[in-house]
Amino acid sequence: MAERTFSIIKPDAVAKHGIGAVLARIEAGGLKVVAGRVTQLSRAQAEAFYAVHKERPFYSDLCDFMTSGPVFVSVLEGENAIKRYREVLGATNPAEAAAGTVRADFGTDVEKNAAHGSDGPDTAREEISFFFPGADLT
């Protein structure tokens, strides 16, 4: 069944002019980009988006990083899109990501890891509506 997931191409990958290259990996992975835009996260948006990590030691640094430059937010669609996109991305830590994945090729470290993908159906729905509220994506 076709499914949707949410993606952020993070400030590190955008700064490397990597939007096109990451979108090419997404499309080569069988996923369709059904909505997308460049945006600059406010501190409040970054803190709310990563609220689940509020108690983690890296939370404040992560919010600093995510607001350090423009990002590309998008909605992806395809068969098993959530799992498929996570395979395209590779492991959270680029040092552990398989060769040929986005994080292996564009990431620097566990914080500056090039891109984000939703980790499950509930978070995908929440994250899509966070950035594309009420969007008519059909």
Residue pair 73/39 in contact (Cβ under 8 Å)? The answer is yes
Q: Which residues contact ligand CMP (rule: CB under 6 A)?
A: 53, 58, 62, 92, 110-111, 113, 116
Q: How far is the CB of 58 from ligand CMP (least distance, A)?
A: 3
- DSSP letter for each residue of 48-65: HHTGGGTTSTTHHHHHHH
Sheet holding 115-117, edge to edge: 32-39, 71-79, 2-9, 115-117
Angle formed at CA 75 by CA 97 and CA 45, multiple of 5 degrees: 85
Report CA torsion sign: 5, 11, 12, 13.
Answer: positive
Minimum CB distance to ligand CMP smaller for 85 or for 136: 85
Q: How far is the CB of 138 from ligand CMP (least distance, A)?
A: 26
Minimum CB distance to ligand CMP smaller for 61 or for 79: 61
Q: How far is the CB of 117 from ligand CMP (least distance, A)?
A: 6
Which of the residues are catalytic?
116
Minimum CB distance to ligand CMP smaller for 49 or for 132: 49
